[in-house]
A and B are shown apart, each in its own frame.
Chain A
Amino acid sequence: MPATSPTFAGRENVLPSMPRSRTGEKRQEEIAKAHLGDVWRFLRAVGVPPEAVDDATQEVFLVLARKLDNVQPGAEKSFLFSTAVNVSRELRRKHTREELADDPDDERLEPALLSTPEDSFDRKEEQGLLMRLLEGLDADLRTPFVLYEIEGQSVNEIAAMLGVPAGTIASRLRRAREKFEARLQRLHLKMRGER
C-alpha cells in the first residue's frame, strides 16, 4: 500500500519500545533471588506485621520490575530498601499500626511471652525477641536504627535513602540506641523476674 507505507515508516519512530529484553528478565530474577530474604527481613524489622510481610515483599519487587531500567547496577539493594521503606510507610498509614510503638513500657518484654511451652521462641516469628525490643522505637528511630545496626548501612547511605540530612540521622541513631539499650537492660531484669 504505497499510500500508507510512508505513514507506517514514520510511526515506527514514535511507537513505544518493546518491553524489557531477556537480559532485563534475567537481571530482575537474579536480583530477586539475591535479595528476597534481605527485603523480607528488613520489612519485618521496620515493623511490617508478620501477616503482611509477604505481600509487602511482593510489592517491593513489583516496583523493581516497573523501574528496573532506572536501577543502576550495584544499587539494587539500596533501591529495594528505599522502596521497602516507602511500602512500609504506606502500610502504616493504611493500617494505622502506630500503636505498636506507642508504649515502650508495655509488657511486651515480659519473657513470659514464653509463659507456656507452646509459646517458645521457635514457634512464632512474631514473638521474636528482637522484634519486641524494636517495637519500643517509633518509626522515625526504628528505620534508621535497623538500617544502621542490622543492615550495616552507613549514616550517609541512610541519609540518602531516607532523604534526611546525615546529621539528623546521626542524632536519631543516638536516641534510638539509648532507648533500645534501656529496653535491653529491662529484658535482663525481667529475665530475673524483677520489675
Chain B
Amino acid sequence: MRFAVVLPIFALAWAVSVRAAAPADCWALRKHGHSAEAKGCFETLTHSGDAYLRAEGFWGLEQWERANEQFRAVTQPAGSQDRYKVRWGMLLHERFNDNDANGLFREALENNPSSAEAYLGLATVSADGFEGQAAEYLAKAIALDPKLAEAHELMADIALSNDDTDVAAAEADKAIALENDALDAMAIHGAIELIANRSPEAWFAKIHAINPHYGEASARVGRQLGLHYRYEDAVTYYRKAVELEPRLWAAHSALGIALMRLGQEDEPFRELELCYDNGYRDKATVNSLRLLDSYKNFETFRDSTTILKLHKTEAALLRPYLQAELLTILATYEKKYRMKLPGPVQVEVYPDHEDFAVRTTGMPGLGAFGVTFGQVVAMDSPSAYKPGGLNWGSTLWHEMSHVFILTATNHRVPRWFTEGLAVHEEGERSPEWRDRLTPEILVAIRDKKFLPVATLDRGFVYPQYPSQVIVSYFQAGSICDFVTEKWGEDKLLDMVRSFAKLQTTSQVIQQDLGVAPEAFDKEFFGWIGKKYGAEAAHFDAWLEELKALVVAAQQKQYDTVLRQGPGVLGLYPEYVADANVYLLMAAAAKARNDDNAEAAILTEYEHKGGQLPDALKRLATLEENARKPAEAAATLERVNYIYPVKDEDLHRRLGDLLYAQKRYDPAIREYAACVASNPVDKAGAEFNLAQAYFAAGQKDKAEETLLAALEIAPGYRPAQKLLLELQRSPAKPD
C-alpha cells in the first residue's frame, strides 16, 4: 500500500478530525507514533457505510476476524476493486496466511495486470521465504509504479540480505526521496552502517524524529544483523525494538528466536509465550515454543569445551561418537586456525528433522543437516534420515568450521567465504566427504552459471534458479580448494584475518592473493573447466548411457552392465547418487558370483564417497571373506559416520572385527553402541562388551556388564565361564 503522506503530522491530525477519515491517514498517524489519534481514526472507519473502510478500521484496531469478514464482503461482488483484494492479501500475510494472501494477489493481477501493489504483495510473501522471485516481482512493481516507495524499501532490504550494499543504499535513498517518512528505508541505512561497523545513530535519530516509538526499524536492523551472522547484535536490536514498542509481537518473537540461537531457553520461552498469549501465533513462534517444550526429552552433557544436547532415545548411543569427534575437531581447528574458542561450543542434535527445521526458521540457505549460530550448532541426527541420507561427521566438521571462522572474524565474514571454507574443511577431513559434484552442479558448470567471486554471496540468500544455493556452496568450496592448491592453505587464514578487518571480498582477493577479482574469476573458471569441463560437456551423453545401463540392469543383462559400465563411469565418476554405475556393476558382479569384481567396484564407490550403508556393509562382508579384517573394519567405521543408529548388527560386527584385531578400546565403543541400540539379543550384547572390557583390563566394568548379561540369561554358558575366570584371575590380563 502506498501512502502519499507529505503533510506535517499536526496538519494531518487536524485534517482527519474535520473530515471523513481515509485509511491512509489512519495508518500514517500510526506510523508517526500518534497511537491515540490513530486508534480514534480507525474507530471512525469502523462506523463507515463502506465495507472496505470498515475492514481497514478493524484491521487498524487489530480486530483481525472482523477485518477479514469486511474484506470478504467487499470483494464478494463481481468487479470489486482489485486493490481491495491486495489489501486483504496484506492482512492475511500479516496474520500468517501466505497461501491465501498469494491467491488474492494473483486474483488482483488477473483483474488488473498493472497492479503494482499486487506485485508488491507477491514480493513481500516471496521475500519472507527467501525466494529469488521476490526481486522479479519487485522489479515489475517498480516498472508499473516507479513511485511506489514500499517497493524500493523492500528492494533495499533484499539487496542488503544479499550483501549488495550499494544497491541497498540506492534503493533506500529512492524510497526516502519519494516519501520523507520512509522509516524502513532509513532502518536499512542504519543496518548498512552497523554491518560496516559504523554508528547507525544518525539514521536512528531521523527515524525517531518522525516516530520516537518506531520499534519496527530496530527489528528490521536486528533481522539484517542476524542474516549477517551478528547473532548477539541482533538480540540487542530486537531488545531495542520491544523496548520502543512493547506491543510489537513480531519483534518479541524474533527476540525469543534470536535468544534461542544463543543457546538460551528461559528468556526465549517467556518472550515466545508472551507472543502466543497475545495472539501472535505464526509458525515460527508456535514451533519454537513446541521445540522449547520438547527439550525436556533431551539430555545435556557438559565438559570444559563442549555442551552436547542429545535426545534421550539416542543419547547413550550417539554421545561417545559425537563427543570424541568434537574433541578431535576442536584440537584440529585450534591448531589450524591458531586460536581457541572463548567458551564451550554447544551442539544440539535433533532426531526429528522438523525440530531441526524450527532452528533454521527465518534463515536463508539450504536449511539442510546443520546450522551454526556463533557458539551454538544445531544439526540433524542421522536418525532423521533414511540410511545414507546424512553424514553426521562431515556435517559436524562443516558446522564447527563456522564456529571457528565466526569467532575469528568477530562474526564479520561474507557468507560465501565461511560456507566455502566449511565445505573445504569437509574435504580436508576426508576426500570421501568432499562436496558432491551433483548433476545440478555439473549442469551449472556447463551452462557457465557460476557467479563472480565478488558477488557470490548473492547465490546463497535469494537464489535466482532452484539449485543455485547448492551450486554456490560447491563454487565457494571449490574456490577455497583452488586457493589452497595455488597459494597454499595459509592464504585461507590470511583471508580470514582480512575479513575480520572488514575488508570486502574484492579487497581480500586483491590484497591476499595479489590478483584482481576479475582475473581471479578467470583463473578459477579455467581451473574448474580443466577439472570438470569434459564431464560437463558430456553430461547429456552420460545421462543417456546411464539410462541404457539401468535398463540393461533391470533386464538382468549383467554382461552388458559389466562391459559398458566402466565407459559410463568414466564420463562422470563422481556420481554416487540414485542408480549410480558403481552399484549397478556391483549387483551385476554379484549375480555373476564374482566376489573380486564386486569388491573392487564397491571399493571405488566407497572412495568416491558412496554412502549407502547396505552397499558398504556388503563391501565389509566381501573384505572379511577375503581375509582383510582391517579393511572391513575401516569400511564399517565409515558407516558409523553415516548411520550408526538403529543398526545393532553394524556395531556387533565392527566390535567383533576390532576385538579380533586386539583393538579393545574401539571394540568397547562398538559393543557399548550395540548395547545402547536396544538389541534383540541383549544378553549377547552385554557379554560381548564384558569380554572387551576384560581384554582391556577393565575388570570392574567387565564384571558389571557380565552381571547384566547373566541377569537376562542366567544359564548363558560363555558368560558363566567368563564370570568364573574373572573371579579366579584378579590380575590384569594381557
Q: A and B from one assembly? A: no
Q: B residues within 8 Å of A by Cβ?
A: none
